[in-house]
Structure 1
């Protein structure tokens, strides 16, 4: 997306945009990295399927954000484009992690449904081993469309294309009608499955609370969490409607092309990566408790500095 605006940016505009992107990427990854650090430092987290799925979502967002920022910077740094093979590998990672997010949200919603509606079976169903199997399944399902894009390129273009330089973004590399049809079908199936999962689990939890077969407070918290999953899904969908919003905004403000493209890039690829720690980490009492301990210890370490003792 940002590649289209490169030629229209002067040096100062390009510097400001890249600096903003890198700064936001570093800040967001630092915040997410703090949650990852706390997760692996506390055994109560990595033995709980709920937190395993959550931290997988955070790590997935960190990977996606890192590669999105790299592609943004590379677009400006390499005027003749990136090697086609390297570009395809990077696009495989970005597209896979992008598809992982909604699938992971569906898994988290199902886990909450089982915890609230089938509490006696939760320990048997939601084991650590099965959680990691689910994560492997998510990656397997998400990577198939990304690999199929490369297969379509191999089938429709000469092999020598992998040695040339290209502007590294999806529409430039995967612009054939076959890619468009495949991408549209995958997006529809993926998002429909996740939306249906969130819809069903939310109302299952709602009816369970009304029937008084579960703890009302626990059910209310689970419903709120699933609703927040829905909010995150909407942000995931923003990336799919970006071409439409770009077309509408560019027709209304043709002189603001680079600003529109850059703003859409931030709102669809960068800023949503901050949602996971804000929505889940800070709302969760355990994570919030360990977060306070972590930062209080950091502050304590900064305040206490060793002093040199001079011996006469």
Structure 2
């Protein structure tokens, strides 16, 4: 019995250490990139010229969506790590928001690619919906479409007989509300449709812009930059699509790496759910020279250096 007790104690301490390590990996990344996203949003809000461009408005919308996705995702992660149970009536809104924002991400990528296509091919006579003052129509449409899957998910929800929505505490995971085979089939079909449509849109815009670079003799720099942006959209879409390969990646990791089964979902979660959201500000925001210049002025450490540089120039 003492040996069994000692073994259980070691297993418990090992599990607690594993949870602490996972939390210590996720939280610093979350804080750093949340700071970057909030800094960009502050920059957008402080400079009205960004609202005169549909591209910047869509980018700001993507940042808001990624912020909500990060907040809900990390919050659910902490609840699972801490084995916090609470009623479904409080769990359901978090799961709804997390699913809707996750579905919204590829749709925003498609919209941003189409915006680049419209900017290149219709620079003077843009369609009304793609003009800065009407881009909210596109944004609202994307949000409504992204809410279809979680809404149907809740409609098809079938809970166990002993589970009460208002009082029974449960671990807040998607599996709690996704127990029906019909739900699983619908979710797979909808995810496949979402990402297939977005992939076609990005591929179409890439090919058209690529062909345009060989026709245009003037302003080829802006067309090439738009082409690179579309490629980055495709790369981020690929990262997002990896979230749906969990069963395959888990099987491959089990076959080739001698890790405990409980660690594999965390690796998938960090690499294919959090990492694509973390890369959004780096891929898009830091590539834009105008946005990067304004961000440097907003950062306290860089602001003092810029003021010092200006003062030294004035003295000269």
| TM-score relative to the length of structure 2 | 0.86
2:61 and 2:234 mapped to 1: Cα distance?
18
In structure 1, runs of 5+ residues without a counterpart are 1-6, 305-312
Give 1:294's aligned residue. Answer: 298
**Are the equivalent residues in 2 in contact too, given 1:24–1:270 (CA < 8 A)?**
no
Aligned positions of 1:82-121 closer than 5 A: 82-121=86-125
Aligned positions of 1:39-50 closer than 5 A: 39-50=44-55
**Are the equivalent residues in 2 in contact too, given 1:166–1:173 (CA < 8 A)?**
no
1:85 deviates by 2.1
1:117 deviates by 1.4
Give 2:18's aligned residue. Answer: 13
Runs of 4+ with deviation above 4 angstroms: 156-160, 296-299
Q: Could you say if the C-alpha distance between residues 182 and 43 of structure 1 is closer, same or farther in structure 2, counting changes exceeding 3 Å?
A: same
Aligned positions of 1:218-257 closer than 5 A: 218-253=222-257, 255-257=259-261
1:124 deviates by 4.7
Q: Could you say if the C-alpha distance between residues 169 and 251 of structure 1 is closer, same or farther in structure 2, counting changes exceeding 3 Å?
A: farther
Q: Could you say if the C-alpha distance between residues 298 and 212 of structure 1 is closer, same or farther in structure 2, counting changes exceeding 3 Å?
A: closer
Q: Could you say if the C-alpha distance between residues 94 and 13 of structure 1 is closer, same or farther in structure 2, counting changes exceeding 3 Å?
A: same
Q: Compare 279-288 and 171-180 and name the one that shifted more.
A: 171-180
Q: Give the 3-state SS of the residue equivalent to 1:122 in structure 2.
A: coil
- Selected match of 1:29 from 34, 41, 49: 34
1:157 deviates by 5.4
Q: Could you say if the C-alpha distance between residues 226 and 177 of structure 1 is closer, same or farther in structure 2, counting changes exceeding 3 Å?
A: same
- Selected match of 1:70 from 75, 85, 104: 75
Q: Could you say if the C-alpha distance between residues 9 and 39 of structure 1 is closer, same or farther in structure 2, counting changes exceeding 3 Å?
A: farther
- How much is the aligned-residue C-alpha RMSD, in angstroms? 2.6
1:33 and 1:287 mapped to 2: Cα distance?
13
1:15 deviates by 1.5
- Selected match of 2:126 from 104, 122, 128: 122
1:297 and 1:253 mapped to 2: Cα distance?
43
1:67 deviates by 0.9
- Is 1:145 the counterpart of 2:123 in the alignment? no
Q: Compare 128-137 and 143-152 and name the one that shifted more.
A: 128-137
- Is 1:268 the counterpart of 2:285 in the alignment? no
- Selected match of 1:198 from 199, 202, 208: 202
Q: CA offsets per residue over residues 40-66 of structure 1, 9 Å max, x none?
A: 000011232110100111111111111
1:214 deviates by 6.1
| TM-score relative to the length of structure 1 | 0.87
1:125 deviates by 5.1
1:207 and 1:113 mapped to 2: Cα distance?
12
1:296 deviates by 5.9
Q: Could you say if the C-alpha distance between residues 198 and 272 of structure 1 is closer, same or farther in structure 2, counting changes exceeding 3 Å?
A: same
Count of aligned pairs? 297
1:113 deviates by 0.4
- Is 1:182 the counterpart of 2:180 in the alignment? no
